[in-house]
Amino acid sequence: MVDPIVLGLDIVADSVSLALPAALWAVLFLLAWEHTPFAESIGFGRWAFWLLLPGALLASLALLPIAPVSYDWVAVSLAGAIFPLIVGALAFGRAAPPLGRSFARYLAFLTVEAATLFVLVLPASGPLVSSLGVGGTGAAGGMIVAVALASIVWALVALVLFARGPPADPSRPGSGSGRVVGFSLALTTAVLASTFAATAAIPGVGIVEQFPEYLMPPIGAGLVAAALAPRIFPGREAYALPTAYLTTTFGVLLGADLLRQPPLYGTGPAGLYTIGGAGVLDLVYLSGLLALGTALLGHLAAGRRFTPVDGGTGATVPTPLGLLALSFREGVRGELGASLGHADAAAREAALQAHRLLDLPPPPTERPWQGLPVPGWVVADQANLDAVSRAGTTDVREGFRAWLTARWLVNIGRELGIRRFGSVGARAAAFVLDLAIVILPAVAIWFALALTIPGDLDALLSNVGYNAAIYGFVAIAFLYLVLVETVTGTSPGKRLVGLAVRDRHMQVPAFSSALVRNVSILPVLTVVALGGAIAVAFSLKVSSLGNVSIDGVALPAGLFALGIVVGVVIGGVALLSALGALLIVLTSERQRLGDVWAGTWVVRDRPVVLPPSPLAPAPAPAPPAPPGPTRSS
């Protein structure tokens, strides 16, 4: 007989699990795109959206191996754990600057706490694992109580150590970081303990959560952070949002994966145990977003607005085309004053961008085109556009003419700087060189593993260590490219062909920008990893496959399959590269998808020297017309 209550709970649980990711992505999108200055000021700008949604989806097969445990392997998922942790850590730097010192204190305390709790759960193995359930009795119940008591002690220690610091001063950004760290540690500990009680470890399945208990820790963390924001962040209450996200992400990571996963090691067939392994559907990934959304609702319920914190730090540089598009939309809505202002700003930004690309000194504010090889009428058009923008207009035709003028000036600025961008051929050559640099060591490792792993082809492809090397290549190659671009502003392949990666200020990109721009390479790395490792396996295990007959001709099945795999890999890489090259050609700033998301350029090391062209002086005001004959009515 079907229990209607159980059936109803199952339906609700399945509905929530299906609807929750889409709802949280919508919240993240609205926050990052509809309230951009506010979102950027708290560390959740558009880069976080690109990393947590499309970036995480593209990184679904990127796993970073940590260590072998018995005959199992432990890895960390880029999508389900590393990306959320990076976003939370960088956002935490806004709430408790400086990031290096505050986050180091936070991590040091959590490391000691996690090690202590790990000792409590480590003895649980074998038959004890099956009893680790929510609300369990005996050993499981005692373990939950022990973790809860230890967590309470650690939370009190955190409050004593850090909450006695000086209170935050709204007039001094960065003050009161000690209290923020103490509050964050206490909240993380609470999430850790409640998550441990709401999850279970089942051999052969993994870590499972109980509905609706697993929703309570992130919702509670978001509500607590929003409620206590006036005391913890006086004058900067919006910092409750990144704090809720960080504490929940770390709390779920420790309470579920770190404390629940070890008892599974060595309890069954060899497996690849992955922290955050479910990717965008993992509890670590979703809990932080749920806490962020809950804190946002609490923020709005308290009557707080989307006002940027601390003057809106972290704002991105507007693009000329973006400002031009905004101007057009405002003109269509009849907002002529705003449309003129953004049209004028688009033309000015185009001139400044050309100066940066040509390595010219900044021009005077009143003459943005000075020093550029442009004819005098460009200066006159900019001066007229400035005058119209200051004076304003109610004439739609006058506003549209001003927009057309701005569009021409933007095109001129684009033509001046476009030669600085790397060509498709140079970028393709750099990509091939970089791909060769990361693939050659991986192929050597795959060959070494394939030679030492006994058995046939099936045994090799199902080996846990071999699979860890496959998925690990994607993660390690990706992180390698991110780090070299962050540190040096280029990569070995780009350096050899004279290219570099720069942000819109022509500076070496920040770590977050390098991270976002390289997520678009993940599909290529995934194809190479899967195809390359399978090709290595076929090349060494061909004798176990026999022959195939094609039109009466007997061919070794292994070599035939190897040719197919190599062809698929080459075709897949070529197709993905062709799509990237097409986007580079079609975009006005020669950007591929990752560059568009991150706001970065791939430029030549040295600017193209253009012949100087003296500008005509700004047009003098016309003399007043002589008075004409008067007419009397």
Token representation of residue 564: 């197919």
Mind listing the pLDDT tens digit for each residue in 591-627? 999 999 999 999 998 876 655 554 444 444 444 444 4
Can you read off the two tokens belonging to residue 70? Answer: 């018995």
How far apart (Å, rounded) are the C-alpha atoms in residues 10 and 474? 37
What is the average pLDDT across 40-67? 94
What pLDDT band is residue 8 in, cutting at 50, 70 and 90?
confident
User: From the CB of residue 564, how many other CB atoms can be counted at a distance below 10 Å?
Assistant: 13
Residue 240 pLDDT > 70: yes
Query: Is pLDDT of 444 > 50?
Result: yes
User: Which tens digit of pLDDT belongs to each residue from 17-51?
Assistant: 889 999 999 999 999 999 999 999 999 999 999 99
pLDDT at residue 130 in the model: 38
Task: Calculate mean pLDDT across residues 512-533.
Answer: 95
8 Å CB contact between 424 and 585: yes
Q: Are 546 and 557 in contact (CB under 8 A)?
A: yes
Q: At what angle do helices 283-301 and 4-34 cross, to 10 degrees?
A: 70
> Which strand (E) or helix (H) includes residue 473?
helix 464-488
In the chain, the amino acid numbered 373 is: P
The neighbouring-strand residues paired with 273 are 74
Instruction: Output the CA–CA distances (angstroms, integers) from residue 373 to 127, 271, 533, 619, in the order listed.
Output: 79, 64, 53, 18
- Angle of helix 83-95 relative to helix 283-301, nearest 10 degrees, comes to 30
Which residue do the tokens 């060959």 mark?
A: 447
Amino acid residing at 486: T
- Quick check: helix, strand or coil at residue 208? strand
What band does 161 get if pLDDT is binned at 50, 70 and 90?
A: low
**Type of residue at 585:** V
- Find the mean pLDDT for residues 211-235: 92
3-class secondary-structure state, position 280: helix
Contact 353, 599 (CB under 8 A): no
Q: Are 156 and 185 in contact (CB under 8 A)?
A: no
Which residues make beta-bridge pairs with 553?
550
Select from 433, 438, 168 the least CA-distant residue to 309: 168
How far apart (Å, rounded) are the C-alpha atoms in residues 22 and 4?
28
- Residue-level pLDDT at 138: 41
Dihedral (CA of 323, 329, 332, 336) sign = negative
Predicted local confidence at residue 71, as pLDDT: 83
Residues near 365 by beta carbon (within 8 Å), at least 6 away in sequence: none
> Mean pLDDT throughout 429-434?
95
Q: How far apart are CA 31 and CA 38, in angstroms?
A: 8
The number of angstroms, rounded, from the C-alpha of 559 to the middle of its chain's C-alpha atoms is 41
Cis peptide bond upstream of 173, omega within 30: no
Token pair of 171 as six digits? 């007039």
Backbone angles phi, psi at 549, to 5 degrees: -110, 125
- Output the six-digit token pair for 522: 């993940």
SS3 620: coil
pLDDT of residue 128: 36
Distance CA 331, CA 399 (A): 7
Q: What is the sign of the dihedral through the CA atoms of 608, 353, 44 and 90?
A: positive
Q: Give the pLDDT confidence score for residue 632 in this predicted structure.
A: 41
DSSP 626: P
Mean pLDDT over the full length of the chain:
85
Range 622-633 average pLDDT: 45
Average pLDDT over residues 275-287: 93
The model's pTM = 0.88
Taking residues 90-95, report their average pLDDT. Answer: 91
pLDDT for residue 246 is more than 60:
yes
Q: Is 292 left (phi over 0), alpha (psi -120 to 50) or beta?
A: alpha
Q: What is the mean pLDDT of residues 275-282?
A: 92
Tell me the per-residue pLDDT of 358-397, one tens digit each, with 9 for 90 and over: 999 999 988 999 999 999 899 999 999 999 999 988 889 9
Residue 356, both tokens: 């940066």
* CA quadruple 210, 212, 213, 218: dihedral sign: positive
- What φ, ψ does residue 311 adopt, rounded to 5°? 75, 15
Residues 6+ apart with CB under 8 A from 431: 493, 577
Residue 346's nearest CA partner among 370, 362, 322, 365 is: 322
76 neighbors 275 (Cβ within 8 angstroms): yes
Q: Is the pLDDT of residue 535 over 50?
A: yes
Residue 548, pLDDT > 70, answer no
Q: Would you call 439 exposed, middle or buried from its count of C-beta atoms within 10 A (0-12, 13-18, 19+)?
A: middle
Residue 218 pLDDT exceeds 80: yes
pLDDT for position 559: 67
- Name the DSSP class of 421: B
pLDDT at 3 over 80: no
Instruction: Identify whether 212 is preceded by a cis peptide bond (ω within 30 of 0).
Output: yes
- Cβ neighbours for 276, distance < 8 A, ≥ 6 positions apart: 76, 77, 79, 80, 81, 82, 84, 253, 257, 282, 284, 285
Give 457 or 447, the one with higher predicted confidence: 447
**C-alpha–C-alpha distance, residues 583 and 548, integer Å:** 42
Which residue shows structure tokens 């923008």?
A: 389
